[in-house]
Structure 1
Amino acid sequence: MKVLLTGGTGFIATHVLDQLLQHGHRVVTTVRSVEKGRILLDLFKGRPVSYSVVGDIAIEGAFDAAVKSDPPFDAVIHTASPFHYNVTDNKKDMIDPAVLGTTGILKAVKSFAPSVKRVVITSSLAAMNNTKHPPKVYNEEIWNEMTMEEALTTTDAQAAYRASKTFAEKAAWEFVQTQSPNFSLTVLNPPMVYGPILHHIVSLDELNTSSKRILNLIHGKPRSGPVGSPVYVDVRDLALGHVLAIEKPEAAGQRLFLTAGMATEKQMGDIIRNTFPDIAGNLRDDLVADLPPYGIDNSKSIRLLGIKYRSMVETIVDTVKSLQKLGA
């Protein structure tokens, strides 16, 4: 297949790109600048990758040129997300970019890429996270119940982020339902994503949020705020999930919770202590050992995609080794 991958320089997307190439697909990826495109081409030198510059994914028509291709695209994987913490207006800075970036790619595909039959969007556990009525088990039926009014007035940036992912995913499903495009939609909802860093970073300051969590663990840094979610997935399994979602007919029209399981801070810390005795002394003694009262159900992703999730040990060990290579 010929695949358009949005946001190809990100932590998750670079792994998705690698998996697409391993599966024999040709890939065009969107990047924010020519410089980022060249860095990506250098990373995947000699492999069938090219890039298209899309500076701001939230502006009207941002993807119109990118989706036009000869030969045409067969599938689109949308991982790009304009998330940042510089929030002064929840709607303008967080919700609108998330929703417009998502609906923008769908509109562009419908209008200018009729050959596309499969679209996969990266959503998040954030769109399932229901603090109002916590479920006994998180699965694909669960949604974040935050209202737009609550999202606009909250002063919690994390809550506003969760709302933005929720409204963006809902907008995608509504688009498919009301516009009846030629393509089917699959949405993947991953939690915290760990694993080796493949994408280009200049310094450890540029690490994605979940990788920083492991970095802070091995440096013994105190938490600034509540402990992060214990629900996790390996970035390599998540990347494979994206590729399988465009390859497997049964994934069409499905919402899939991509998660390997739950891991407490203490469990992750114990893996690090046992595997890396030279840094064991860095770890704090107050690592959280309790799991929340809910469970998780990943059986749908296993059944429809055939994924065999990596063990927590493999994920955490490979994450630490990767961080050490980067100078951690």
Structure 2
Amino acid sequence: MPTKILLTGGSGFVASHILSLLLERGHSVVTTVRSEEKAGQIRQRFSAVSKSKLDFAIKGDISEENAFEAAIKADPPFTIVIHTASPYYYNPQDIQRDLIDPAVKGTVGILNSIKCNAPSVRRVILTSSFVAVAHDAQGVSWDHTYTAEDWNPVTPEEATTNPFRGISSKTFAERGAWEFVEKEKPNFDLVTFCPPLVFGPVAHSLKSFDGLNTSNKRIWGIMTGGARNEIPDTGFYLWVDVRDLALSHVKAAEAGTDVANKRFLVIGPGYFNNKEIVRILHENFPKYAAEHSPTLSASGGVYPAQGLYRYDVEPVKKLLGVDFRPLDDCIVNFARSLENYPFGVSLS
């Protein structure tokens, strides 16, 4: 049944796909954005959608106290909130200030605003990360099957030691959400998703390819050169297509109590390495790859000799009915989506 949903961070990579699916499925959406400019970009993309079905709330700094209080008050009221807005980028000047505080304060803040101002909300859906599952500082355990029961034991001290570990902000934000629900016992339940690297087609507005999400920048870097005879080390081997991650969020919004207060791993089939990306580019865009990408005979980018850890996504398949796209489809559709931008590439 169509419902009214608040979606945070609507101009982002994942949220832009969630927004499309919500509107396709008849829901009414208010999405938060950082500026009128970003609202205008989304309005242009969905120019045929009425204001009653798509509206905006402008919110710059999500870490401010009561940042979402005004947005959460609505008539008619919201029944679902999907919270995707949480910053991550390389080389922050201050990990605590720039990454951890906005993630935690934004997440706990929106939950508190819902509890105090929106008793109609029955479910909050949070985009977390596989980083909240496996320890980014110590590395993953090779002989282990990761499930939703696993938690990254990273400490605040470890998280602030270098910019890469700043992504542990996702861990602290998700822990804060579950602790809030346990302590405050609000009227709503909580569903969280923990994806690894998120690849796939780009649908949101970009001023340049510098604005690609962190995961897709890996593919873009391979597409555009570097060492032609050497492929970068892969380092991390789990991925998911953004369209499958978005569908998981939407299906959780539409689901009943059987998914209440559940945590899900959302991971694509099998594994990937950078050499596989090179192969896919050459098989599907031979002329472009021959001119810009590493050669098929280039060394590097393979799987580690010690083997790969395992993971369990059966709960998200069983409870939400999500089938995952193969890697080839994901990479090809990402590359083709880049042709849609005025500064885009020509793959032919």
Query: TM-score of the superposition, structure 2-length normalised?
Result: 0.89
> For residue 318 of structure 1, what is the amino acid of its counterpart?
N
Residue from 299, 303, 315 that aligns with 1:290: 303
- Of 150, 159, 169, which aligns to 2:165? 159
Does structure 1 conserve the Cα–Cα contact (< 8 Å) formed by 2:87 and 2:102?
A: yes
Among 303, 306, 320, which residue is 2:321 paired with? 306
Aligned to 1:78: 83
How far apart, CA to CA, are the structure 1 residues paired with 2:339 and 2:215? 16
In structure 2, the partner of 1:21 is 23
Q: Which residue of 194, 207, 220 maps to 1:202?
A: 207
Write the distance in 1 (CA, Å) between the matches of 2:105 and 2:203: 28
Which aligned pairs between 1:216-235 and structure 2 lie closer than 5 A? 216-222=221-227, 227-235=234-242
* Letter of the structure 1 residue corresponding to residue 302 of structure 2: A
Is 1:56 aligned with 2:90?
no
Alpha-carbon distance between aligned partners in 2 of 1:8 and 1:33, rounded to the nearest angstrom = 11
Are 2:280 and 1:271 aligned? yes
Which 10-residue stretch deviates more, 2-11 or 85-94?
85-94
Cα distance change on mapping 1:228 and 1:209 into 2, 3 Å: farther
Q: 2:216 matched to which residue of 1?
A: 211
Alpha-carbon offset, residue 204 of structure 1:
1.3
Structure-1-length-normalised TM-score: 0.94
**Contact 2:8–2:33 (CA under 8 A) maintained in structure 1:** yes
Return the letter of the residue paired with 1:56.
D
In structure 2, distance between residues paired with 1:171 and 1:41: 33
| Structure 1 counterpart of 2:251, from 235, 244, 249 | 244
Q: Where do 5+ consecutive residues of structure 2 fail to align?
A: none
The CA deviation at 1:241 is 0.5
Change (3 A) 1:224 1:85: farther
1:89-100 alignment to 2 at 5 Å? 89-100=94-105
Alpha-carbon RMSD = 1.8
Counterpart of 1:181 (choices 171, 175, 186) is 186
Report the 3-state secondary structure (helix = DSSP H, G, I; strand = E; otherwise coil) of the residue aligned with 2:286. Answer: coil
CA contact (8 A) 1:68 1:113 kept: yes
Mapped partners of 2:177, 2:233: distance in 1:
31
Q: Distance in 2 between matches of 1:200 and 1:217?
A: 22
Q: How many residues align?
A: 325
Cα distance, 1:71–1:224 mapped onto 2, change above 3 Å = farther
Residue 280 (structure 1) shift: 2.7
Deviation at 1:137, TM superposition (A): 1.6
Matches of 1:273 and 1:56, distance apart in 2 = 42
CA pair 299-319 structure 1, distance change in 2 beyond 3 A: same
Question: Residues 125 and 192 of structure 2 are in contact (CA less than 8 Å); yes or no, is this contact kept in structure 1?
Answer: yes
SS in 2 for 1:144: coil
* Contact in 1 for aligned 2:232/2:301 (Cα 8 Å): no
4+ runs of 1 displaced by more than 6 Å?
A: none
What one-letter code is carried by the residue in structure 2 that aligns with 1:200? S
1:9-48 superposed matches below 5 A:
9-47=11-49, 48=53
